[in-house]
Amino acid sequence: MRPEGDRKMKTIIGIMLFGLLSVGAAAKPQQRSYAGRALVLVGEGARVKDGEPLYDMQMWIDEEDGRRAFPALAMRAGGRDKGRLVRGDHAPAFLVWGRFVKQAVFKFTKAVPAATMRDEIKDAIAGVPGGDAVAAMFAQDAAAGDEWVLTTGDNGQIKLTVGESGDKLAPQSPKLERALWNIWLGNKPLSTDLRRALIEKIDLLGR
């Protein structure tokens, strides 16, 4: 092969390798774990209020326990395909009632005062024993770029990690835990668009 042709071939191969590496990097899935156990991302979306984004939200659950519970969801939904799984209330109820670790990651796109966050949750936890403690957990201003992580255990444990401020705990209560998740996933969620977005990848549990 002539030197000129050799250079062209090397250039083409270099471009192809770069493309393959770029695709591989872009396709790398997000990963998260809790207490040494892998979590799986089942959905993500943005909370928008009065036309203004407040925070982005990701919904993660324990991967092993979620996969173990998935057949019951598929049976209620009438199938394992995404169309059936995200239709109606089956998937949101699966997340609210499921006895597995759940984690919501809030990434604030703007400064949000504590009063706004309390307003987001107050109706759902009103009258629920322990609700005052949950309201106190959210009583902190969030700056643009802050990340909060809400984690609940398989038996009603509730923890909110607020940046460098550390962990805030609420009384252990399955009822209070369900009330909390109903804020975003219940029959009267803060946003129906966000509710749908938080279950958009739930079919991954069946793969």
**At 201, which CATH number?**
3.50.70.10
pLDDT, one tens digit per residue, over 79-123 is 888 888 998 899 999 999 999 999 999 999 899 999 998 888 888
Whether residue 174 contacts residue 20, with contact meaning beta carbons closer than 8 Å, is answered with no
| Predicted pLDDT at 25 | 42
CB 197 within 8 A of CB 56: no
Q: What SS3 class is residue 156?
A: coil
Range(s) of the domain holding residue 17 = 1-29
Q: Are residues 19 and 96 in the same domain?
A: no
- Looking at the fold, whether 19 and 104 belong to one and the same domain comes out as no
Confidence of residue 31 (pLDDT cuts 50, 70, 90): confident
**Same domain for 143 and 55:** yes
Q: Tally the domains of the chain.
A: 2
* Residue closest to 57 by CA, chosen among 177, 166, 150: 150
The pLDDT score that the predictor gives to residue 113 is: 93
Domain identity same for 37 and 98: yes
pLDDT tens track for 179-201: 999 999 999 999 999 999 999 99
> Do 87 and 153 fall within a single domain?
yes
- Identify each DSSP E strand in 35-82 by its residue range: 37-49, 52-62
Q: Which of 27, 28, 25, 61 is nearest to 44 (CA)?
A: 61
Percent residues over pLDDT 70 in the chain: 86
**Domain match, 8 and 93 both:** no
Query: Is the pLDDT score of 19 beyond 80?
Result: no
Average pLDDT, rounded, for the chain: 87
